[in-house]
Amino acid sequence: MIDDILLRLLRIPLRTPYKLAFGPVTHFETILAHICADGRTGIGEATILTGYTNETIGESWSRVLEMAKTLPGISCEAAKSAITSNLKDVPFTATALTSAIEMLERHPALLVEQSSKVPLLAGINAVDNDGIADEIEQAVAAGFGTLKIKVGFDVESDLQRVRYIQDCNAGRTILRIDANQGYNRKDGCRFASRVDPEDIELLEQPCHADDWSSLEAVSKVTSVPLMLDESIYSETEIQRAAHIGASYVKLKLMKFVSLTRLEQGLDRIRELGMEPVLGNGVASDIGCWMEACVARSHIRNAGEMNGFLRQSEPLSKSQLRIEAGALLLIPDGEPQLDEKALEKVTIQTARFDRTSQMIGAAT
């Protein structure tokens, strides 16, 4: 039975702005759920970035409060069913609660019995030539084998920057290009058909998530493999991605609500002849750790669960470590919340017990 739920609304500053086609991100807006049941505890997060999802942080906080007050006193299975049913239109929000329950249930995906490494990619964020060259050299020296380039701004300048990165890279790493829905159909086709495929693994989400006709048009002319990300929320979209000719599909835990559904989605991608990619660059160390645990057995390329590297300060005492471009998972490395770090970034809290009443709140 669920005994207690503590919710926190966080505003987590980033070390440097994360530059996306729809604007720079300077902080994470995160809902953190801490759930106790039968003497065990679990933690889950939802980091809301409108553009990655239709959800807004205000709506998500209101919805998660309404849902949480109904859960104390019922079983974990009943709680997961209720969350799935009542929050099906806000999957990021639902994930905070569901993944916390899965952690306290000791979901098999989260059991790390021996040390393992999950290769990650490194982002190239600089826009000036000297900065780009420095970032590439630093990433190569640190052991990263895949670099990610953001495009989706202006086709000509994007092509020039990619060409310069290819020249600096000189075949040392794989390049992954992400447009973050930044192009319309015409520009998406222009970029995809003209980009030199040298060292390029894939082109990610060139057009809007809902613009499937434009995505299909790009898939027909692209010189590099196409990957969909923001378009994908369920098996239905995975099947649609295969139909339009995508080669890769990327999943995020926050879009699939539960670890079990995430694993099923990754398996389904491969069954349909595509290659799965996993990871959220806009998630804290809690969500990134969970995704890395799943990645151990479900992907064979660089993971994108690197949002924790952007945080100004981790939320967990057991800090995630990078060795030779890979995230190190260790036994007994499950996140343990750092209360002092949380105090600095907490905006609001709410707590519910078996009386189904909010027993504490702060702003």
CATH number of the domain to which 215 belongs: 3.20.20.120
**Residue 204 and residue 133 share a domain:** yes
Q: What is the mean pLDDT of the chain?
A: 95
Mean pLDDT of 265-284: 97
Distance of alpha carbon 44 from alpha carbon 187, whole angstroms: 38
Pull the structure tokens for residue 256.
Answer: 């699939």
Same domain, 11 and 91: yes
Same domain, 80 and 129: no
- Average pLDDT over every residue of 34-63: 94
| 66 and 138 share one domain | no
Determine if the pTM surpasses 0.85: yes
Check residue 319 and give its pLDDT: 87
CATH assignment at residue 80? 3.30.390.10
One domain for residues 153 and 20: no
**For the chain, how many structural domains are there in total?**
2
Residue 131 makes CB contacts below 8 A (sequence gap 6+) with none
Does residue 58 fall inside a structural domain?
Answer: yes
Distance between CA atoms of residues 120 and 122, nearest Å:
7
Structural domain harbouring 189: 116-329
Whether residue 334 lies inside any domain: the answer is: no
Q: Does pLDDT of 359 surpass 60?
A: no
Q: Per the domain annotation, does 289 fall within a domain? A: yes
The phi and psi torsions of 245 (rounded to 5 degrees) equal 100, 20
Asked whether residue 97 is assigned to any structural domain, the reply reads yes
| Per-residue b or e along 14-46, where b marks 16 or more CB atoms closer than 10 Å to that residue's CB | beeebebbeeebebbbbbbbbbbbeeebbbbbb
pLDDT in tens, 209-256: 999 999 999 999 999 999 999 999 999 999 999 999 999 999 999 999
Structure tokens at 270: 């491969």
Extract the tokens encoding 218: 């790009």
**Residues 89 and 176 placed together within one structural domain of the fold:** no
Identify which has the larger pLDDT, 361 or 43.
Answer: 43
Residue 346: inside a domain, yes or no?
yes
On whether both 174 and 281 belong to a single domain, the answer is yes
Contact 294, 263 (CB under 8 A): yes
- Residue 111 forms part of a structural domain: no
* Inter-helix orientation angle 285-298/91-104, to 10°: 80
